[in-house]
A and B are shown apart, each in its own frame.
Chain A
Amino acid sequence: MLMFLARRLMTSVLVVLVSTVVMYVLVDIAIDPLEDLRTDTRPGAEDRIAARTAMLDLDSPVLLRYLDWLSGASRCLIGSCDLGRDWRTGTPTTELLSGAVTTTLQLVTVATLLAIVLGVFVGIVSALRQYSGFDYGLTFVSFVLYSLPTFWVAVLLKQFLAIKFNDFLADPQIAWWFHALVVLGTATVVMAAVGGSAARRLRVFGVAALVSLAVMLYVDLTDFLVTPGLGIVLVGVLGVGMAFGITALSTGLSDRRSLYASLTVAALGVALYYPVLYLWYYVDASWPIVLGLGLLAVLVGLGVGLAWGGPDRWTVARTAALTALPVAGLLFVDRLMSSWDNYVDHGLIRGRPISTASRRTPGFDSGFWLNTLDLFGHLLLPTLTLVLISFASYSRYSRASTLEVLGQDYIRTARAKGLTERTVIMRHAFRNALIPLASIVPVDIITLVGGAVITERIFNWRGMGWLFANYLDQNVIDPIMGYLLVIAILAVVANFVADLFYAVLDPRIRVAA
């Protein structure tokens, strides 16, 4: 294993080195730092060209300049990076990158997480219902998403999801036909996704329609859009729902211990509802605290599961922990929602929470909860733009790999053994279908970072993609190389992680030392 890691590290370094050489040469050919001086006929033009040539060392062969750049870059290893500078303003590349990297990561992380969760879920469901209306509909939708030019969609999103939606928030009157549309639409989609016999479909349709009608009514009657909030009752209802759902997927409802453990966790969530509100009242929240509490919730879940014990106590513990996280999430979301009207009424927001440009509201700093909402308001559109695209590819991938897995002999064997469909799908099909995905996700993140070039430009986020496009435009090589270096390292790491995942998840693959 150690040998493998060492060899892998060496090849990675080599890939980064060679790719930076190649890109340095390519970028050097593509840009022309003397563009504005080249055909200068004013007196003294030669001097100006000579001065800039000397400053940028353009006379020496490109490879020498690369070595020069490399010697600066290699000092990153000892903690004092010198990635050159933007010679037009003298700003060091490292300074340009430091802010940009966080910006881009923020954007890409959220988008990736959302896309994976949604894409995998929808993809698997559509594979299970292959050639159903749901499947065809999804195929069509994902192809449409594939075919949308980002920049074209972004303009529309700004208009309809930000401006129009904010307008709507000012006076949230939902027309009856919209209610009807949503109710019928949701019911149809759920029915198509669940499938089954005609009677079952009808039943599912009815239940889904009733539930969505209830939700719509709740939203309408409580003015949810203006003053959202879950309240202890909804936290309880949703928590219990989650406990049932997660247990059903994880161990099956017949495993009573797991069910009781999850329900205990949900009940604890309800019990802690007010104490947690108190906590936030006295403690200034911050991300470390929030994440720490999330971790604590998982540990508590494990503890509850172990306390319920039984012969397979760790399975129970896992289910309980899996339930604890979303229940804790509910408490977090509820607290966040309770700040919503403070946010919307804030003098800088003035009832228009969804923003069309930039990373945050200038000068907005009103504590953790409002700042988080502000962040979400600004993240929404760019994230959505990125998600639209990678959602399509994840759903296609997971559909394909699920189909492939479902055709395997071990699935047939599992069914023949008389395992329930849930066990077959969750235990055998689902996990194996995830294997190829695990190797795709890290690589896909690179593509997403690339896609951020356009998204950042449209939404005026000064991230890495913006940096790259901007400096390519201005013929300044050092910041471009800084960007490419970060991307190359990211790509190498991503590929490495993908291989590791693969090795861990698929026992057929062994790491050859």
Chain B
Amino acid sequence: MRLRRIAAATTAVALGAALAACAPPEDENENEGNSDSGAERITVGWNQPFFSYNDDTSNGNATANAILVYLTRSTMNFYDAEQELQTDESFGTYEKISDDPLTVKYTVADDARWSDGTPVDAADLLLAWAAGSGKVNTIEADQVETDDNNVPVLGEGQVYFDSSSAGLPLTETPEISDDNKSMTLTYSEPFADWELQIDGGGVAAHATVMNALDITDPMEAKQTLIDAVMANDATKLGPISSFWNSGFDFKSLPEDESLYLSSGAYVLTEMEDGQYATLEENPEYTGDRPASIPTVTVQWNEDPNAQAQQLANGEIDLVGPQATTDIVEALQNIDGTEVETGVEASYEHVDLVVDNGGPFDPATYGGDAETARTVRQAFLTAYPRQDIIDRLIAPLEEGAETRDSFIVTPGSPTYDEIVGANGSDEYAESDPAAAAALLESVGVSAPTVRIMFAADNVRRENQFEIIKPALEEAGFVVEDARNVDWGSKLGDGTYDAAFFAWQSTSTGVTESQATYYTGGLNNLTGYTDPAMDALWDELSVTTDEDRQVELQTQIDQMLYDNAYGLPLFQFPSVAAWNSERLEGVEPAPLSPTIFHGYWNWSLVD
């Protein structure tokens, strides 16, 4: 009985073994799935997830969007690493055909195509013009109702493109050439930064119109747009503007491919909400800035330390986290990693709010502007700028210095000249005693100052710790108004002073006009000075460089004289990449920072 069972079991096993034996053991041919081997792909770490494919709207205007747009949409010009403007004639050309009146002719290259095969042409430029100039808007910015994403909600027949531009409002409705490849723009007055107004890098016109008006033929859509703009047809432009404002907002890849058409080297192929996006070489692209690495993945992670660890672990190949002493040092300690420190275009500054009934508002002193100015001066005199640099910035960036101009960046050719004459030396050293004397001179005692800054940022917490004792010594009562949502609170009047950073996106002379001009988009302090507004007006139409410097010096001087606030320091930046894998990285101070010059990237064998 028992023997039989053992025999049976042995037979079964032997049978199995025999079966196995007649099947020779090879295999080990990994059934590779469908995708690439990964050798031709790099992963770039970035902190903030993408959320809109249209980075020309005021809502979508963020570096997180701009970096992907940079990879997917060609432009006629771009900044190189030295902040010099370069042109890309393979995509299109522009030329100034007349100085008086200023006339610019844009021509799109013949073989420039969107990734769906539709040619890029004047209709795309025209849409950018219509959006930027505001000429076809039927309502003003302050009449627009927005929903809570700051996206305008338009009524019947209303047209509103949620965008702004300094130069385009000065232009007439452009002329379109017969072959639809050129657009000619005529300015009503000279404009200094005319080169920066239109670059052909906006969203696709036909995609916008097709989606807004339910048109299926791309060429018909383009023509509809041209006709509508020329005829200023609000019934058509209303839906178009509405779609332009919010139709391109997405966080994971939409099913409709027309929402992410590419005219550049890469095209989006995958996007997981908040996790990563994958871009692949655009087969339709024939221009001069082609993809040198077939696939680029952008992976999002908010935590700089986690990013550094990801780089150390080879999960990402290139990263540009916010530079802190610890991060820079940690990156330098990673083997096989190249680290480049420098300055970013962003700079830290302190703003004083003058329209909120606080200590810096003339209204507090019965409209006595002079008293308010003196209180502001006292505040800034006590502000320990040098101390902040020495203790927080110098450790990461050798030879770090304070930034001494509101409107020009250190390193630019005119910086030294302007700084020498703008009166910034008055605030070179923190002097609490002098500040106390200033306060006393106008009879203001112990004014309370609510200082707002980012609550979750150690560097800003440290800055606050440094300035607090100095200001208290001068007689100010410092109230800690740190906030996690500081960004959305800017300009809301709940604080009297705030320190945060401005990020420049170009080097145009009118770049910072919106910050200081009365009612400007970035004027968050309520600062108003008609004399200075006049200077800005003049500057924006001045093309003579010497005169530009003169005007810039005057503006800077006025800002210092009126104790507007203080520029503090240029942000130190750091970029690090896996040099055993990737070369040719050339981070730029301006957006798109680490992505700059992607066509020069190459994989190390």
Direct A–B contact in the complex, CB atoms closer than 8 angstroms: yes
Interface residue range, chain A: 35 or more
Inter-subunit contact B13/A271 (CB<8 Å): yes
Q: With A51-B148, A278-B23 known to touch, is A36 a contact of B492 (CB < 8 Å)?
A: yes
The residues in B between 1 and 58 inclusive whose CB is less than 8 angstroms from any CB of A are 5-6, 8-9, 12-13, 15-17, 19-21, 23, 25, 27-41, 43, 51
Interface of B is mostly: loop
Inter-subunit contact B35/A365 (CB<8 Å): yes
User: Does B547 lie at the interface of the complex (its beta carbon under 8 Å from any beta carbon of A)?
Assistant: no
* Residues in B whose Cβ lies below 8 Å from that of A36: 485, 488-489, 492
> Nearest Cβ distance between residue B303 and chain A, in whole angstroms?
7
Inter-subunit contact B5/A307 (CB<8 Å): yes
Inter-subunit contact B295/A260 (CB<8 Å): no
Across the interface, B23 reaches (CB within 8 A) one of A275, A309, A352, A361, namely A275
* Bound complex: CA A278 to CA B20 (Å): 9
> Nearest Cβ distance between residue A154 and chain B, in whole angstroms?
10
User: Does B447 lie at the interface of the complex (its beta carbon under 8 Å from any beta carbon of A)?
Assistant: no
Q: With A36-B485, A355-B315 known to touch, is A363 a contact of B23 (CB < 8 Å)?
A: no
Q: With A260-B6, A367-B31 known to touch, is A275 a contact of B19 (CB < 8 Å)?
A: yes
* Bound complex: CA A90 to CA B51 (Å): 12
* Residues in B whose Cβ lies below 8 Å from that of A90: 149
Inter-subunit contact A271/B31 (CB<8 Å): no
* Bound complex: CA A367 to CA B34 (Å): 8
Inter-subunit contact B275/A273 (CB<8 Å): no
Across the interface, A347 reaches (CB within 8 A) one of B27, B40, B310, B485, namely B40
From A162, which residue of chain B is reached at the shortest CB distance?
B313
* Bound complex: CA A350 to CA B38 (Å): 9
From B483, which residue of chain A is reached at the shortest CB distance?
A35
User: Does A24 lie at the interface of the complex (its beta carbon under 8 Å from any beta carbon of B)?
Assistant: no
Interface residue range, chain B: 35 or more
Inter-subunit contact B301/A358 (CB<8 Å): yes
Inter-subunit contact B37/A357 (CB<8 Å): no
Inter-subunit contact B492/A52 (CB<8 Å): no
Q: With A36-B485, A364-B38 known to touch, is A88 a contact of B148 (CB < 8 Å)?
A: yes
The residues in A between 291 and 326 inclusive whose CB is less than 8 angstroms from any CB of B are 304, 307-309
Q: With A268-B13, A272-B16, A274-B25 known to touch, is A366 a contact of B32 (CB < 8 Å)?
A: yes
Across the interface, A42 reaches (CB within 8 A) one of B9, B146, B491, namely B491
Across the interface, B148 reaches (CB within 8 A) one of A55, A304, A462, namely A55
User: Which of A185-193, A338-346, A393-401 has 4 or more CB atoms under 8 Å from chain B?
Assistant: A338-346
Across the interface, A462 reaches (CB within 8 A) one of B37, B275, B303, B492, namely B275
Across the interface, A37 reaches (CB within 8 A) one of B276, B297, B492, namely B492
* Residues in A whose Cβ lies below 8 Å from that of B16: 268, 271-272, 275
Inter-subunit contact A35/B485 (CB<8 Å): yes
Across the interface, A362 reaches (CB within 8 A) one of B27, B30, B299, B484, namely B299
User: Does B157 lie at the interface of the complex (its beta carbon under 8 Å from any beta carbon of A)?
Assistant: no
> Nearest Cβ distance between residue A423 and chain B, in whole angstroms?
24
From B302, which residue of chain A is reached at the shortest CB distance?
A460
* Residues in A whose Cβ lies below 8 Å from that of B51: 89
Inter-subunit contact B27/A280 (CB<8 Å): yes
The residues in A between 350 and 406 inclusive whose CB is less than 8 angstroms from any CB of B are 350-352, 354-359, 361-367, 369-371
> Nearest Cβ distance between residue A503 and chain B, in whole angstroms?
40
From B251, which residue of chain A is reached at the shortest CB distance?
A89
The residues in B between 346 and 376 inclusive whose CB is less than 8 angstroms from any CB of A are 355-357
Q: With A260-B6, A307-B8 known to touch, is A275 a contact of B20 (CB < 8 Å)?
A: yes
* Residues in A whose Cβ lies below 8 Å from that of B355: 41
User: Does A473 lie at the interface of the complex (its beta carbon under 8 Å from any beta carbon of B)?
Assistant: yes
User: Does B142 lie at the interface of the complex (its beta carbon under 8 Å from any beta carbon of A)?
Assistant: yes
Q: With A87-B148, A89-B149 known to touch, is A348 a contact of B41 (CB < 8 Å)?
A: yes
* Bound complex: CA A405 to CA B315 (Å): 50
* Residues in A whose Cβ lies below 8 Å from that of B469: none
User: Does B85 lie at the interface of the complex (its beta carbon under 8 Å from any beta carbon of A)?
Assistant: no
* Residues in A whose Cβ lies below 8 Å from that of B34: 365
User: Does A197 lie at the interface of the complex (its beta carbon under 8 Å from any beta carbon of B)?
Assistant: no
> Nearest Cβ distance between residue B479 and chain A, in whole angstroms?
13
* Bound complex: CA A38 to CA B489 (Å): 9
Inter-subunit contact A460/B306 (CB<8 Å): yes
Most chain A beta carbons < 10 A, residue from B145, B315, B355 = B315
* Residues in B whose Cβ lies below 8 Å from that of A110: none
User: Does B117 lie at the interface of the complex (its beta carbon under 8 Å from any beta carbon of A)?
Assistant: no
* Residues in A whose Cβ lies below 8 Å from that of B17: 270-271
Inter-subunit contact B275/A363 (CB<8 Å): no
From A99, which residue of chain B is reached at the shortest CB distance?
B273
Q: With A264-B12, A347-B40, A462-B275 known to touch, is A358 a contact of B299 (CB < 8 Å)?
A: yes
User: Does A155 lie at the interface of the complex (its beta carbon under 8 Å from any beta carbon of B)?
Assistant: yes
* Residues in B whose Cβ lies below 8 Å from that of A309: 5
* Residues in A whose Cβ lies below 8 Å from that of B272: 362
From A351, which residue of chain B is reached at the shortest CB distance?
B314
User: Does A238 lie at the interface of the complex (its beta carbon under 8 Å from any beta carbon of B)?
Assistant: no
> Nearest Cβ distance between residue B269 and chain A, in whole angstroms?
9
From B303, which residue of chain A is reached at the shortest CB distance?
A460
Across the interface, B309 reaches (CB within 8 A) one of A39, A45, A159, A260, namely A159
User: Does B518 lie at the interface of the complex (its beta carbon under 8 Å from any beta carbon of A)?
Assistant: no
* Residues in A whose Cβ lies below 8 Å from that of B39: 347
Instruction: Give the 8 A-B residue pairs with the shortest CB-CB distance, closest first.
Output: A347-B38, A271-B16, A41-B493, A348-B38, A347-B39, A36-B488, A362-B276, A274-B20
Cβ contacts A to B, 20 pairs, < 8 Å: A38-B494, A51-B145, A88-B148, A88-B149, A89-B249, A91-B251, A155-B305, A264-B9, A268-B16, A278-B23, A350-B38, A357-B301, A357-B306, A358-B299, A362-B43, A362-B270, A362-B275, A364-B38, A367-B33, A460-B303
> A residues bordering B, Cβ < 8 Å?
35-42, 44-45, 51-52, 55, 87-91, 99, 155, 158-159, 162-163, 166, 260, 264, 267-268, 270-275, 277-278, 280-281, 284, 304, 307-309, 338-339, 342, 346-352, 354-359, 361-367, 369-371, 458, 460, 462, 473
Please name 18 further chain A to chain B contacts, defined as beta carbons within 8 Å, in addition to the given A35-B485, A308-B9, A362-B299, sorted by A numbering. Answer: A40-B494, A52-B148, A166-B313, A264-B12, A271-B15, A272-B16, A275-B16, A347-B37, A347-B38, A347-B39, A356-B315, A357-B310, A357-B315, A358-B299, A365-B34, A366-B30, A462-B274, A473-B484
